[in-house]
């Protein structure tokens, strides 16, 4: 997929670490001009920028909180002002606040949904208008296998990721007549900061259920995102591609 995105502009939310960082690098390697957002970690944002720039093209980090509508609108406006177009939107920004339901506060539940689901809505709403004007573009949401089966202690996260799948399907129905393709990716257990914090026992148990026998890499997820963003996937609309090493096929 070398230089598949030449002349295109991509915006990746939550692009400073993990899956988001891998998406930034994959799109930059494909020739896209890439803007990515981050919330707090400026060091990680600088590292992502340097790594992606090594592939050529422009890479711009923008500090933005997906839970802040004004910041989201300003970010999209800045992309359009700089490049006069937006071709690819990857909605990856997300947080976790794990807790068992009986102990979870309403604030913890709402914060996860506000960033993961409502944040995706904010960016999609801001980005769809310039895409509709050009009658071209693709939006890819990063959901999770947590949308497909329940995980104890993650009612807020599962609800947000399940909502993303439904949101993706509804956007596809609404926007495809305007020339905008919308799809989702649902990663399983991926080697990120989030899984690094998991207890060793839980990780071993999870690997036993994964047919591939290991956790995936951010680059493997980014490869699927890049495929969905490419012209090779133009007949794929409203789908959720699961990238989990066969995990969900073993879940009853």
Residues annotated as catalytic are: 157
Query: How far apart (Å, rounded) are the C-alpha atoms in residues 61 and 19?
Result: 16
Cβ contact 88:140 at 8 Å? yes
Please state, as a whole number, how many other Cβ atoms lie within 10 Å of the Cβ of residue 60. 17
Query: How far apart (Å, rounded) are the C-alpha atoms in residues 72 and 3?
Result: 28
Query: How far apart (Å, rounded) are the C-alpha atoms in residues 168 and 188?
Result: 18
Q: What are phi and psi of 32, to 5 degrees?
A: -80, 150
Check the CA dihedral 71-77-83-89 and report its sign.
positive
Cβ contact 73:126 at 8 Å? yes
């Amino acid at each position: 997929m070398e230089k598949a995105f030449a002349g295109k502009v991509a915006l990746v939310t939550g692009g400073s670490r993990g899956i988001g960082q891998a998406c930034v690098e994959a799109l930059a390697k494909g020739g896209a001009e890439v803007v990515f957002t981050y919330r707090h970690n400026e060091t990680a944002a600088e590292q992502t920028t340097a790594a992606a720039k090594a592939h050529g093209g422009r890479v711009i980090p923008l500090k933005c909180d997906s839970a802040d509508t004004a910041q989201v609108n300003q970010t999209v406006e800045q992309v359009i002002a700089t490049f006069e177009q937006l071709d690819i939107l990857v909605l990856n920004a997300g947080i976790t606040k794990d807790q068992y339901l009986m102990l979870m506060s309403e604030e913890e539940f709402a914060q996860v949904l506000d960033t993961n689901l409502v944040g995706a809505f904010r960016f999609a709403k801001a980005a769809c208008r310039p895409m509709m004007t050009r009658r071209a573009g693709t939006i890819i949401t990063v959901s999770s296998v947590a949308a497909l089966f329940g995980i104890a202690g993650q009612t807020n996260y599962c609800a947000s990721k399940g909502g993303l799948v439904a949101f993706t399907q509804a956007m596809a129905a609404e926007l495809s007549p305007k020339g905008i393709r919308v799809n989702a990716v649902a990663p399983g257990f991926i080697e990120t900061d989030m899984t690094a914090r998991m207890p060793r026992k839980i990780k071993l148990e999870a690997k036993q259920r994964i047919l591939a026998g290991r956790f995936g890499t951010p680059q493997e997820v980014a490869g699927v995102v890049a495929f969905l963003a490419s012209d090779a996937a133009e007949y794929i609309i409203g789908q959720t591609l699961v990238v989990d090493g066969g995990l969900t096929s073993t879940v009853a």
